[in-house]
Structure 1
Amino acid sequence: MLEKLIVSKTLRVPASTAAAGDGAAVARQFDAALLDAGFSASRALLEHVGGLAPGPAMDLAAAAVSAVRELVGDHVRHNAYFLNFPDGVPDTVDFWMERLAAAVLAGGGTALADGRLNLLELPGYGTYQHTYADLLAAHDEFVAAAGDRLTVLHLGDTAEVEASRLYLALAGSTVPLGEADLAILGELAVACVDGEQPDAIPVRENRAVLNGVRLVLGRPLVAVDTTTDVLRLACHVSGGDASLATATRLRAFPRRERRVLLAALDEVVGANPAKLGDVARFSEPWKRLGQRLHPHEYAQWPHAQAVFAVARGERTVPGIAGRAEAAIRAGAIAPAASVLSAAPGLLLRSADRLLRIAPAAQRSAVVEAVSGALGSASGRVLCSLREHVGNRLTPASARMFANRSRGAWVARDTRPTLPAGLVAELSSRLDTEILARLPQLPHPLLVDPDVLDVALPLSGRAAEGGFAVLPRGSRSVVSGELLRFFMYWRQTARRTDYDLSVQMLDAEFHPAGQVSWTNYRGGGLVHSGDITDATDGATEFIDMPLAKTRVRYVVPQVYIYTGESFDDVAESMFGYQTRAEDQQGAPFDARTVRARSDLRGPGRVALPMVFAQGKRGWEAVWLHLYLRGMPAFNRVEDNALTVADRVRALVERRYLTVSYLVDLFATRTAVAMWDGEVPDEPVTYIGIHAPDDLPEGSQAFTLDRLAELIPE
């Protein structure tokens, strides 16, 4: 449903064009339902709902409430294994002995087959022994507190206008989108195919998604300017990976589509034969595509035929990267930089390597080549290089490499550091170029302090979908007295056992204990009990009293013990709540949810975030990482060192944050910090969520729009 999608993505409720009437009663019910989920309606939204006829008002309110409940994970029932959790959780061994005694009294059964103990077969182990209604009845009513989350929903334009606005923002994004946003872009591309189109589509994967829709619907392709654009498109419409990181099984293409793809290839190569230099990099996918497109049947497009000749090795066309590597092997570093100048983005991504290996006599030439490329590279590449050089004054304790699928591995940092003078010079030149590209703000800048430590979203692939999910490396202060992690999953076809666990680390990132299904209590933390089957959905919790937790780092993680992967289950999520210790209520309450992220990724171990204790108290640091793990029986005990080295590499890295852009803006516009008081004049607001009642004419950049601040 389009309205729900818009609410989930923008926290704006599309205005209804239905008949007017008296919907005041519905508006009151709507406001109450939102408050139960930790949301509130802006004044304009309540007035709009109240001005509709009761039927349309109810439809609009129901769609909005459903969307926000799903957003925070309140659309499912979060039961706990132990009825009175966090009270009444027994010692782990005592609990196992109790279950074992029950098995003996029942005759042993399969739990004691062959003289071996199988925990999963113990009577009552891993399955709920009470209903969700029983759980609610066993807990006192939730006590509202001043610190509970209250997120404002705003009134938007009509669904068509909001859809078009969101489509243009996603399609024209200057940074790669995550999987969830790419799926949304695909849906919107169908609805908006004949409407307004973006002036530019900088990200190649976005082009593939849009052109996939246009190819199927018989519309002309847009923004195809490299041969690889055509290959990405073919992979995308085959249901594969448009980033080309993984192999795609290409489908058969009808003659109409074959003609479109070959004509696009012919036009690209005909306009610039040097574009053939990109083909060899993906020769195998090109060969497979040639088998599907039959280019030999279309003599009218000889340039397209040349693409497949290069892929088959019948013709050699050296690419820029190949020529640069040849120069580097010959010790000609400055000439290599000159070759790479034809591809500014590639040159800037290679800048560190070139500067490290350049002899002193050639270093100034490399610096000039890099400086000359700054004006032609994308803003995302400039910001990435700025973040990179900011981390090159001292060796890293470990280098972490994260791929597009959020897999990660670490290695020793054997690189020599860059000279401080060189780092300062490059940083200054980058700052000047980035500042020149920042938009001119029409109003003074008003900044929510909570957004300053949010890492710039240089790639949407480094995050998950969900609510209040921040990019990898972002930090946010954790308030409240009790931190509660929750993890929910629902299996699709076979028994699936996920395990929520916590690893504790000391100041030197050494293991300092764990809490999991094998250890219900440790360091003041308490586990809610092990669930081993999620036919109807299952939830596990871990409580962490902030004042009583003495370790430096706490790393919640999700292990696949048996069953379906994160990508195959019907649903999986992780999140955290903050509470006062005396708030009571059921283990899950939407009003206390601070963040909820989807769990969709490769590997058998998920590391969504780490909680670090520092000068500001406890902070949440987003990881968004997946470890390969084992095919089955993954446990926290087996991954202590693997987790610790990745956490250390990420926590110690200095990320480029929103505060960097705010400092640049401050050189040419007035900047003030948001203190909860509504300003009298229009402002440009930057924050996690937009407050209610900003003056008319104000512009708000919230989580869903932070990428728009990154210069083109």
Structure 2
Amino acid sequence: MDNVESLVITRRLRVPLDPAPEGGGPGRGEVAARQLDAALLSAGFTCSPALLERLSGLSVENVIDLGVRVLAAVRHLVGDHVRHNAYFIDFPRNVPGTAEFWAGLMRRSLLGPDASVQEVTPQTLDLLTLPGYGDYPHSYADLLAAHAELVPLAGDRVTVLDLGGDLRSEARELYLSLAGSQVPLPAEDLAALRELAAFCAQHLPELGAGGAPEHIPVPEHIPVRENRAVVNEARLAAGLPLLVDTVTDVLRLACGASGGDVTLATATRFRSFRRAERRALLRALDAVATDAALGDVPRFREQWKRLGERLHPHEYPHLPRAAHVFDVARGERRARGLGSRVETALAAGRAHEAVELLASSPGALLRRLDHLLRAGTDPAGVLAAAGTAARAASGRVLLSLREHLHNRLAPAAGRVFVNRHGRAWTSADTRPPLAADVLAQAADLLDEEIARRLPDPGRLVVEPAMLDVALPLSGKAVAPGLGMLPRGSLAPVEGELLRFFVHWRQAARRTDYDLSALMLDDAYGDPEYISWTNYTNDFATYSGDLTTAADGASEFIDLALRRATRPVVIPQVNIYAGEPFDEAAEAFFGFMTRDAAQEGLPFEPRTVRMKSDLRGAGRVALPLVFLRGGDGAWRAKWLHLYLKGHPAFNQVEGNRLSTGLLVRSIVEREYLTVRHLADLLARKGGAGEHTTYLGLRAPADAPEGARIYTPATLHELIPA
């Protein structure tokens, strides 16, 4: 239950509390509440007036118990749950030049205890193995003693924690939001959804209307198949009817119920199912295994064969269509999928036939619209089919296609491809152009359908900083965290000093991550580096290289933004040796901003603007890029990308070409942002009396009944 409470606090920035005081008279908890507020402020958080008032009405013991849990949750959110030491104790001051550092280290290494020179064979000298290199030369207590306290300034981040409802209602609301998301969820959110579903199954039966149990509430729509599989896991365990409409839904459920991958990206070792579970899975499969549906089976042939060994479909002769699925998997029955038939038609030059075949799958037709327009000679007919498909396709497909069409008008540095794990690569764009009038017609029909589905905004209020936030059309590669925005979002970077950081802790073997920065000119050339091979330049400073992290390690890079001679700064985290990001015990990245007058430790939680876990499949992480515009202002653009890299010894100097092209392609791409939906909402107009608010944070004085959308809940605005 404590973890569910922590999920609500970190994902919604609300503290769940029962509506009635649990003990003590009014005001008994006031002192403890203000002490908690002061402790929260040190981490960059504060209680809203409503939360502070509510805490003041609790007993002292309850405030203290709750405060411990709230502090733990927010400190983990901002990265303050670990001790951030730095290799150079005075960082960012008194950091030696690179040559000076290595010369000093070699001098100390070559002189013995009696100041006599030790014999060294040049061919065997490895600088990275010199005694004292890569380990902290001082304790965290020494670091504390070497730094003055932070001077708080008005520009420091202060995130407001608001008063929430009781834990069950807050958990239910978060569960329904995640389950009904229109965009795929990252692995962390899928795990949270699984935990919330189990919590709802255990604690929400009394919430049903009319006294009837409401086991595991279900949102009106569950468009994302992985979300549906997680919800079905809880329903299968509770013996409730399953929510499936394709054969692959059943396969995903079986994988999830076996502790495997519901995305089907990796094979699952199926467990032995109880008879009741086998019967439920086969009944669900029999209900959806039509002849047309069998065409999806060959995509996951091997997993279906392994599942058949566990479900024993031959024991259920009254469910013949379920048995047909496994016949197709074993090759005993022929089933040809829609995609295969469409590809055959296109390869033969029969674009009109491909359009007719895709009419039964609106989403597939729209995803292939660019190809269909290039392959055929009847753009009017293709657009007419697209208009029909748009009325039945998901809102996410409509918005993704709208973004794609916008970028077809202007040539880009290259095409960018990003898989579900954030692994990215680029290629030259060899596609022939599409006619501008065709693109305009397609964009208009999409906008018309999107606007039709958007809710009545009533009185629309949009925070200007929210306009450049990209719509979350895919959230798989975006790990939850503090200040996180979807890929392609722009946000201002305020302050004189920018400091980004990485922290990691190895799980089982020596692990060396390297924080680095690639700095480029306006044309994404003339590279300059800050890394363990180059500690300083005129405006940047590196905190020192750590090569092992049994107890955790932190590295920092400081940039004096006003003195920066490069307008493009790309932070990188390179895996030099050891465990991948998703195998380490812990790995996260973030950045802070400060004014030059501020003192303080290398890591000060109230100056952290963004922090998120690293857990992509690549060996080089590119979380974001910092850009200086023509007006001199700096902005951050979110990337959430990972490069494949090398198996070991990744360095910023070795991937500058691939990094520069990839980042340029992302920066020059026009992402569909909140501005586009806000324009459609304003054009649509509002007849209701409610308020729709779009902002980076929920307003403290929102009117009752207001619909509030922040980056954490922006997926709820994506139309169904």
What TM-score bracket applies, with the shorter chain setting the length?
over 0.9
Q: Which runs of 5+ in 1 are unaligned?
A: 672-680
Question: Measured at CA, do residues 489 and 156 of structure 1 come closer, stay the same or move farther in structure 2, by a change above 3 Å?
Answer: same
Q: Tell me how far apart the structure 2 counterparts of residues 581 and 405 of structure 1 sit (CA, whole Å).
A: 38
Structure 2 match to 1:328: 346
Q: Retained in 1: the 8 A contact 2:112–2:118?
A: no
SS at match of 1:489: strand
Structure 2 match to 1:102: 108
Which deviates more from structure 2 when the two are superposed, residues 39-48 or residues 15-24?
A: 15-24
Instruction: Pick one of 129, 134, 145 that aligns with 2:137.
Output: 129
Q: Retained in 2: the 8 A contact 1:513–1:523?
A: no
SS at match of 1:152: strand
Deviation per CA, 1:259-312: give whole Å up to 9, x if none: 22222111112xx33211211222222122222322223222111110111122
Q: Does 1:621 align with 2:637?
A: yes
Q: Does 1:417 align with 2:421?
A: no
Q: Tell me how far apart the structure 2 counterparts of residues 112 and 255 of structure 1 sit (CA, whole Å).
A: 70
Structure 2 match to 1:390: 406
SS at match of 1:504: strand
Instruction: Pick one of 479, 494, 499 that aligns with 2:514.
Output: 499
Q: Retained in 2: the 8 A contact 1:528–1:541?
A: yes
Equivalent positions of 1:113-512 (< 5 A) are: 115-193=123-201, 194-215=215-236, 217-269=237-289, 272-359=290-377, 362-441=378-457, 443-512=458-527
Deviation per CA, 1:21-73: give whole Å up to 9, x if none: 31001111011111111111110000000000111111222222221111111
Deviation per CA, 1:436-458: give whole Å up to 9, x if none: 000112x4121111111111001
SS at match of 1:70: helix
Q: Does 1:597 align with 2:612?
A: yes
Q: Retained in 1: the 8 A contact 2:216–2:234?
A: no
Structure 2 match to 1:711: 719
Q: Tell me how far apart the structure 2 counterparts of residues 703 and 357 of structure 1 sit (CA, whole Å).
A: 39
How far off is 1:639 after superposition? 0.8
Deviation per CA, 1:549-578: give whole Å up to 9, x if none: 121211001011111110111111100001
Q: Tell me how far apart the structure 1 counterparts of residues 76 and 148 of structure 2 sit (CA, whole Å).
A: 25
Q: Tell me how far apart the structure 2 counterparts of residues 632 and 83 of structure 1 sit (CA, whole Å).
A: 29
Whichever residue aligns with residue 208 of structure 1, its letter is: A
How far off is 1:682 after superposition? 6.4
Q: Tell me how far apart the structure 2 counterparts of residues 378 and 158 of structure 1 sit (CA, whole Å).
A: 34
Structure 2 match to 1:11: 13
How far off is 1:114 after superposition? 7.3
Structure 1 match to 2:212: none
Deviation per CA, 1:488-510: give whole Å up to 9, x if none: 01111221111100011121212
Structure 1 match to 2:566: 551
Q: Retained in 1: the 8 A contact 2:72–2:81?
A: yes
| Identity %, equivalent residues | 54
Q: Tell me how far apart the structure 1 counterparts of residues 507 and 336 of structure 2 sit (CA, whole Å).
A: 48
Q: TM-score, normalised by structure 1?
A: 0.95
Structure 2 match to 1:638: 654
Whichever residue aligns with residue 143 of structure 2, its letter is: L
Q: Tell me how far apart the structure 2 counterparts of residues 682 and 316 of structure 1 sit (CA, whole Å).
A: 55
Q: Tell me how far apart the structure 2 counterparts of residues 604 and 227 of structure 1 sit (CA, whole Å).
A: 35
Q: Tell me how far apart the structure 2 counterparts of residues 501 and 241 of structure 1 sit (CA, whole Å).
A: 33
Q: Which runs of 5+ in 2 are unaligned?
A: 202-214
SS at match of 2:163: strand
Equivalent positions of 1:46-65 (< 5 A) are: 46-65=52-71
Which deviates more from structure 2 when the two are superposed, residues 550-559 or residues 614-623?
A: 614-623
How far off is 1:511 after superposition? 4.5
How far off is 1:250 after superposition? 2.9
SS at match of 2:549: coil
SS at match of 1:324: helix
Whichever residue aligns with residue 450 of structure 2, its letter is: I
Question: Measured at CA, do residues 273 and 695 of structure 1 come closer, stay the same or move farther in structure 2, by a change above 3 Å?
Answer: same
SS at match of 1:559: strand
Q: Retained in 2: the 8 A contact 1:511–1:644?
A: no
Q: Retained in 2: the 8 A contact 1:212–1:233?
A: yes
Deviation per CA, 1:95-114: give whole Å up to 9, x if none: 11111111111389999577
How far off is 1:236 after superposition? 2.0
Question: Measured at CA, do residues 682 and 211 of structure 1 come closer, stay the same or move farther in structure 2, by a change above 3 Å?
Answer: closer
Deviation per CA, 1:577-632: give whole Å up to 9, x if none: 01001101111111111110110111211111111111351110111111111221
How far off is 1:347 after superposition? 0.4
Structure 2 match to 1:77: 83
Q: Tell me how far apart the structure 2 counterparts of residues 535 and 633 of structure 1 sit (CA, whole Å).
A: 19
Which deviates more from structure 2 when the two are superposed, residues 582-591 or residues 233-242?
A: 233-242
Whichever residue aligns with residue 583 of structure 1, its letter is: Q
Aligned length: 697
Q: Does 1:41 align with 2:47?
A: yes
How far off is 1:523 after superposition? 4.6
SS at match of 1:247: coil
Q: Tell me how far apart the structure 1 counterparts of residues 135 and 526 of structure 2 sit (CA, whole Å).
A: 31
Deviation per CA, 1:225-251: give whole Å up to 9, x if none: 100101111222233321222333333
SS at match of 2:527: strand
Structure 2 match to 1:678: none
Q: Retained in 1: the 8 A contact 2:44–2:158?
A: yes
Structure 2 match to 1:653: 669
Question: Measured at CA, do residues 308 and 114 of structure 1 come closer, stay the same or move farther in structure 2, by a change above 3 Å?
Answer: farther
Q: Retained in 1: the 8 A contact 2:197–2:216?
A: no
How far off is 1:697 after superposition? 3.2
Q: Tell me how far apart the structure 2 counterparts of residues 104 and 663 of structure 1 sit (CA, whole Å).
A: 68
Whichever residue aligns with residue 432 of structure 1, its letter is: E
Structure 2 match to 1:675: none
Q: Tell me how far apart the structure 1 counterparts of residues 649 and 315 of structure 2 sit (CA, whole Å).
A: 53
Question: Measured at CA, do residues 110 and 218 of structure 1 come closer, stay the same or move farther in structure 2, by a change above 3 Å?
Answer: farther
Q: Tell me how far apart the structure 2 counterparts of residues 195 and 358 of structure 1 sit (CA, whole Å).
A: 48
Q: Tell me how far apart the structure 2 counterparts of residues 614 and 144 of structure 1 sit (CA, whole Å).
A: 28
Q: Tell me how far apart the structure 1 counterparts of residues 409 and 707 of structure 2 sit (CA, whole Å).
A: 38
Structure 1 match to 2:206: none
Whichever residue aligns with residue 508 of structure 2, its letter is: A
